Chains A and B, each alone.
Chain A
């Protein structure tokens, strides 16, 4: 990167932190610190909710997914708008009227202390580890691309966030979310414009769509009902609905965002805006990746996008084989380019049969290129069994570094850092809320002064930031445990959602029945994970339905007590 890019990057990072500190003045009590004084307008709620969900990986990995796999990932979000509607109708009025700080606080009011403890403990374990990964995943990619030390990158990310999160709490988090998210979206739009303007003369957006479609990238909707296929219309609508319902309805990192709304109406409008904007936004990011793919139809791409792995090949044991693969890639790339150009010319001339023949030829060359990429991955693994053979996270940033103008490169990297900071800040704030409200205040009941509340909350935020950075530091050594942490979330979300839906809708069920039902449902979900090949998204549905069914069936055995109903 040039000096201007470094200036833009570090200037932006310093600006984000100073802005967060500036907006963090005036915290007087726990409501101010954990829920921004319940004073946010719906616009801030909406952008904060979107910024929390869209981490750095969203903006690095999603374009890479569009490049490698096309648009089908957009289906993952189809359940989100429907989930927003259900949450607006159920969770928001309840949480806001009861003036709870956390979603789990409600469970004690509706059921009992042990159900609250179960849900909050599951959240703290899962989110505590996941926050470490929220730091580690982008730090890994950024350290490789920028040539930084991984540990220092983790410390930088965590350190920048904790400055304003610990000082200003939720208000600082919400205000920086708004600023950072707007910058991220503006940067992505500019990047999109530059990608499209970099196409060869005469190739427009329509041509790009036709070329991407001919090569299997325009695959936004898959109508097949295949439970083993991860992204279809049905898995997105049904499994995705339950996943998003659980994430937004019961995960404190999101609940804490919309509870900052100054009224039920403001919180609702914020979530409904998210429901309306999320699918188009994800489609736009995937489309950007697809446009990068079209760009590389006319400019030969790197054989493998992860520079750390390809560097090992330069003088290593597999250097000769790697060069041979590069030669094969070059040959297939040239042939594919000829096929695409012939197809576009035939389309313009109205010669349909010729266009179809050229498209088939280009698709055959694409298949050759795909085989070369698979063989490259095999070679990397042979030379280094620990090599990472998935390079989708690197596609967009390699493109940015090689083809975007000076200044904008720094801005894109600043946007990626901002996205990472957004998610980390919201997660730290949620972990603090749950630790203080659901753990510490219950362990030591009594009257806490506002000062004690604030000091404790700040110390807890610092603790979770240190924990997350420490976990991120060691994540690279944990190997498969990293994957296990990701799976952990999918395994528990459905069960937690089932507890909440039972609380909302099944009046006759009491605390003990739902507690036992949750344990049984969780065992069933884990059995599904161990014994079947069912896609992850469906675990959310299975866990949720089983909790509802078991709780309803067990309610005659352990009926709702008079104390619970009082």
Chain B
């Protein structure tokens, strides 16, 4: 396997959707758990995450570290719909 597969998880998006350097300004708190909790698929599942238990086969909370990026995508959709509504009323 090529080296890429064992790369560490890239930094998570900082508030506002930008990707910040780990520990840099605007970066989220550094994860303190074992590496597999950062989502690196090349690593084995955490010990308590066997199937059927909390962990590997259950979704993480929606409003986690990625919540702001999700909100950004939803806001973009809202902006697009409002813009199209305005254009429809303006030209139709």
**Which of B45, B69, B91 has the most C-beta atoms of chain A within 10 angstroms of its own C-beta?**
B91
- A262 near B7: Cβ-Cβ < 8 Å: yes
Q: Interface digits, B50-83 against A, CB 8 Å rule (1 contact, 0 not)?
A: 1111011111111010100110011011001100
Task: Select which of A37, A78, A89 is within 8 A of B70 by beta carbon.
Answer: A89
For the complex, is A478 an interface residue (Cβ under 8 Å from B)? no
Residue contact B56 to A209, C-beta cutoff 8 Å: no
Whether the pair A279, B59 counts as a contact (CB closer than 8 A) is no
Interface readout for B2-38 with A: 1 if CB under 8 Å, 0 if not?
Answer: 1011010110100000000000000000000000100
B41 to A89, Cβ gap below 8 A? no
Known: A37-B1, A263-B7, A264-B41. A97 touches B87 (CB 8 A): no
A89-B70, A213-B91, A272-B69 known; A283 vs B57 contact (CB < 8 Å): no
Contacts of A74 in B (CB 8 A): 84
Size class of the contact patch on chain A? 35 or more
Contact yes or no, A280 B58, CB < 8 A: no
Q: A221 contacts which chain B residues (CB < 8 A)?
A: 81, 84-85, 88
Residues of B close to A566: CB separation below 8 A: 50-52
Bound-state CA distance A93–B49 (Å) is 12
Tell whether, in the assembled complex, residue B2 and residue A37 are in contact, meaning their CB atoms are under 8 Å apart.
yes
Task: Output the least CB separation between A423 and chain B (Å).
Answer: 24
Interchain CB contact under 8 A, A78 and B88: no
Complex Cα–Cα for A279 and B78 (A): 11
> Which residues 252-268 in A have Cβ within 8 Å of B in the complex?
262-266, 268
Cβ-defined contact, A276 with B73, below 8 A:
yes
| Cβ-based interface call for A98 (8 A) | yes
Contacting pair B57 A78 (CB below 8 A): no
In the complex, the answer to whether B77 meets A81 with C-beta atoms within 8 Å is: yes
Q: Contact check, A90 vs B59: say whether CB atoms are below 8 A apart.
A: yes
Closest chain A residue to B69, Cβ basis: A272
Please determine whether B66 and A263 come into contact, CB atoms closer than 8 angstroms. no
Write out the residue numbers on chain B whose beta carbons fall within 8 Å of the beta carbon of A503: 57
Residue of A nearest to B4 (CB): A39
Interface contact B56-A94, CB-CB below 8 Å? yes
Q: Is the CB of B49 within 8 A of A97?
A: yes
Give complex CA distance A32, B5 in Å: 11
Docked Cα-Cα span, A109 to B52, in Å, equals: 8
From known contacts A38-B41, A221-B84, A279-B80, infer whether A88 and B66 are also in contact, taking CB-CB under 8 Å: yes
Q: Are B5 and A38 in contact (CB under 8 A)?
A: yes
A25→B12 CA distance, assembly (Å): 31
Q: How far is the CB of A20 from chain B (nearest CB, A)?
A: 19
* Cα–Cα, bound, A5→B36 (Å): 53
- Say yes or no: is A564 at the interface (Cβ < 8 Å to chain B): yes
* Contact residues of B: prevailing secondary structure: loop
Q: Which residues of B contact A71 (CB under 8 A)?
A: 84, 88
* Nearest CB in chain A: distance from B56 CB, A: 5
Distance of A222 Cα from B88 Cα, bound (Å): 9
Taking a contact as CB atoms under 8 Å apart, the answer to whether A565 and B52 are in contact is yes
The answer to whether B41 touches A96 (Cβ under 8 A) is yes
User: Whole-angstrom distance from the CB of A293 to the nearest CB of chain B?
Assistant: 13
Chain A residues whose C-beta falls within 8 Å of the C-beta of B77 in the assembled complex: 78, 81-82, 275, 279
Contact status B41-A218, CB under 8 Å: no
Chain A residue nearest to B63 in the complex (CB) = A89
- Inter-chain contact A263/B1, CB cutoff 8 Å: no
The CA of A94 and the CA of B69, in the complex, are separated in Å by 19
Q: Does A403 contact B (CB under 8 A)?
A: no
Which residues of A are found within 8 Å of B50, using beta-carbon distances? 566
Tell me, in angstroms, the Cα distance from A221 to B84 when the chains sit together. Answer: 7
How distant is B41 from chain A, measured CB to nearest CB, in Å?
Answer: 5
Report how far A528 CA is from B66 CA in the complex, Å. 38
Nearest chain B CB to A235's CB is how many angstroms away? 14
* Residues of A with C-beta under 8 A to B87: 209, 218, 220
**Do the beta carbons of B39 and A96 come within 8 Å of each other?**
yes
Q: A96 to chain B: which residues have CB within 8 Å?
A: 39, 41
Taking a contact as CB atoms under 8 Å apart, the answer to whether B81 and A78 are in contact is yes
CA distance in complex: A280, B87 (Å)? 14
Question: What is the bound-complex CA distance between A280 and B77, given in angstroms?
Answer: 9
Instruction: Tell me the smallest distance from the CB of A427 to a CB of chain B, in Å.
Output: 24
**Please, how many angstroms separate the alpha-carbon atoms of A313 and B61 in the complex?**
62
- Measured CB to CB, the closest approach of chain A to B27, in angstroms, equals 14
B59 engages A218 (CB within 8 Å): no
Quick one: closest A residue to B89, CB to CB? A221
11 contacts between A and B (CB under 8 A): A74-B84, A85-B70, A85-B73, A98-B45, A210-B91, A216-B92, A221-B85, A262-B5, A264-B41, A265-B10, A564-B52
Q: Mark A residues whose CB is within 8 Å of B.
A: 26, 28, 32, 37-39, 71, 74, 78, 81-82, 84-86, 88-91, 93-94, 96-99, 106, 109-110, 209-210, 212-213, 216, 218-221, 223, 233, 262-266, 268, 272, 275-276, 279-280, 283, 503-505, 507, 564-566
Beyond the given A93-B60, A264-B41, please list 20 additional residue pairs across the A-B interface where CB-CB is below 8 A: A38-B5, A38-B42, A71-B88, A85-B70, A85-B73, A86-B62, A88-B70, A89-B62, A89-B66, A90-B59, A97-B49, A110-B51, A213-B90, A221-B88, A233-B81, A262-B5, A263-B9, A264-B39, A272-B70, A275-B77
Q: Which residues of B contact A (CB under 8 A)?
A: 1-2, 4-5, 7, 9-10, 12, 36, 39-42, 45, 49-53, 55-62, 64, 66, 69-70, 73-74, 76-77, 80-81, 84-85, 87-88, 90-92
Give 7 nearest A-B pairs by CB, closest first.
A213-B91, A264-B39, A90-B59, A218-B91, A220-B84, A81-B77, A565-B52
